[in-house]
């Protein structure tokens, strides 16, 4: 008998990220119900059937393809829908097209569920998370972007490779925009509390590899999917288990070293009700200058969307 507390996750978008996320959540048995929603209903139905046919080999999770009505009762609604990032295209070049898509999606979601946590993965994730907060009417704590969680994982991976240490033992953060203006917080990077001593050339290479990782993958196979799915799974787990886990998600900042009214990736405590608090990394003056510059990049893009669509707000 399934003794898990009933939980439901809805995924809007059954592309590479949405389907990989659904499969990851299914294998790890994060929810008792998992519904896929996509404008391409056949694709969502095919993915759901493909997973459901393997049910003799996993737990009792019910997985199916549905419509926006099926967002009702979901604990978490994950949004991965949107146009794909093209080879050589920046995340921010996606903004205008995906903003229009999000406007329509959020209108449908809030019709049927006003109590869920919204988890945004579509790029550019920081601006779209801010837009989701504004359009949904939800409290900022319950609108979360995947932020720089994956960037930080990549950063830890490359540091681990450089030092021949398991990346799980590397404590390191990428903060700011999930994109080209992000920055590494080298001043707080450590292994078992011991600061990492690397020459500047090695640091530059590690960060360059981190920042360009998505572009390399997109060039090679067309889209990123597996690592972002694991990142989404990690956030969902922190929420559903009320973990109070510190994760570098995109959240609304309020006087974070003078930065306000912008969503960006910073270490945050994630629990059952969403983002409980933001952790102050105490960056150096140089790091803080970069973080403020990243915030300004995002503010400018938010302002551009709002000026294009004043009737939305």
pLDDT digits (tens, 9 = 90+) for 59-83: 889 999 999 999 999 999 999 999 8
Per cent of the chain over pLDDT 70 is 97
Domains of the chain: residue spans and CATH: 8-145 (3.40.50.720), 149-304 (3.90.110.10)
- Distance CA(306)–CA(23), nearest Å, equals 35
Residue 304 predicted with pLDDT over 80: yes
What's the pLDDT score for residue 2?
Answer: 53
Distance CA 146, CA 139 (A): 17
Instruction: Identify the residue with better confidence: 85 or 50.
Output: 50
Sign of the alpha-carbon torsion through 211, 212, 215, 220: negative
Q: What is the pLDDT of residues 259-275, one digit of tens each?
A: 999 999 999 999 999 99
Q: What integer pLDDT is reported at residue 1 of this predicted model?
A: 44
Can you tell me the mean pLDDT for 124-152?
A: 97
What pLDDT was estimated at residue 93?
A: 72
Confidence band (pLDDT; 50, 70, 90) for 4? low
pLDDT higher than 90, residue 143:
yes
Q: What per-residue confidence (pLDDT) applies to 87?
A: 73
Mean pLDDT of 197-202: 96
Q: CB of 147 within 8 A of CB of 249?
A: yes
Average pLDDT estimate for 85-110? 85
> Looking at the annotation, which residues are catalytic?
178
- Residues whose CB is less than 8 angstroms from the CB of residue 217 and which lie 6 or more positions away in sequence, other chains included: 223, 224
Going by C-alpha positions, the residue among 110, 112, 173 that lies closest to residue 143 is 110
The reported pLDDT for the residue numbered 88 is 75
Give the pLDDT confidence of 26-48 residue by residue, as tens digits: 999 999 999 999 999 999 999 99
Q: Is the dihedral of CA 225, 24, 70, 142 positive or negative?
A: negative
Q: Which two tokens stand for residue 35?
A: 């519904």
- What average pLDDT does this structure show over 160-171? 97
| Mean pLDDT estimate for the chain | 95
First and final CA of the chain: distance in angstroms?
A: 48
The model's pLDDT over 7-17, given as tens digits with 9 standing for 90+, comes to 999 999 999 99
CB 82 within 8 A of CB 102: yes
């Amino acid at each position: 008998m399934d003794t898990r507390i009933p939980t439901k996750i809805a995924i809007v978008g059954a592309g590479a990220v949405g389907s990989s996320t659904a499969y990851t959540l299914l294998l790890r048995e994060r929810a008792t119900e998992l519904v896929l929603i996509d404008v391409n209903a056949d694709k969502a139905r095919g993915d759901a059937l493909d997973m459901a046919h393997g049910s003799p080999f996993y737990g009792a999770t019910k997985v199916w393809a549905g419509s926006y009505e099926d967002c009702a009762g979901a604990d978490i609604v994950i949004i991965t829908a949107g146009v794909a990032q093209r080879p050589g295209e920046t995340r921010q070049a996606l903004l205008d097209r995906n903003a229009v898509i999000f406007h329509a999606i959020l209108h449908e979601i809030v019709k049927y569920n006003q109590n869920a946590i919204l988890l945004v993965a579509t790029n550019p994730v920081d601006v779209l998370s801010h837009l989701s907060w504004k359009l949904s009417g939800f409290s900022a704590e319950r609108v979360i972007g995947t932020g720089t969680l994956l960037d930080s994982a990549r950063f830890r991976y490359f540091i681990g490779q450089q030092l021949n240490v398991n990346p799980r033992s590397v404590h390191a953060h990428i903060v700011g925009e999930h994109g080209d203006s992000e920055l590494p917080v080298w001043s707080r990077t450590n292994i078992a509390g011991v600061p990492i001593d690397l020459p500047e050339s090695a640091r530059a290479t590690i960060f360059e590899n981190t920042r360009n990782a998505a572009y390399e993958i997109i060039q090679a196979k067309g889209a990123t999917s597996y690592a972002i799915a694991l990142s989404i799974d990690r956030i969902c787990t922190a929420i559903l288990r009320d973990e109070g886990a510190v994760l570098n998600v995109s959240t609304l900042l309020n006087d974070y070293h003078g930065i306000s009214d912008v969503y960006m990736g910073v270490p945050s405590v994630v629990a059952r009700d969403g983002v409980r608090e933001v952790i102050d990394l105490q960056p150096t003056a140089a790091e803080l200058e970069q973080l403020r510059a990243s915030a300004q990049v995002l503010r400018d893009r938010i302002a551009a969307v709002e000026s294009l669509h004043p009737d939305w707000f």
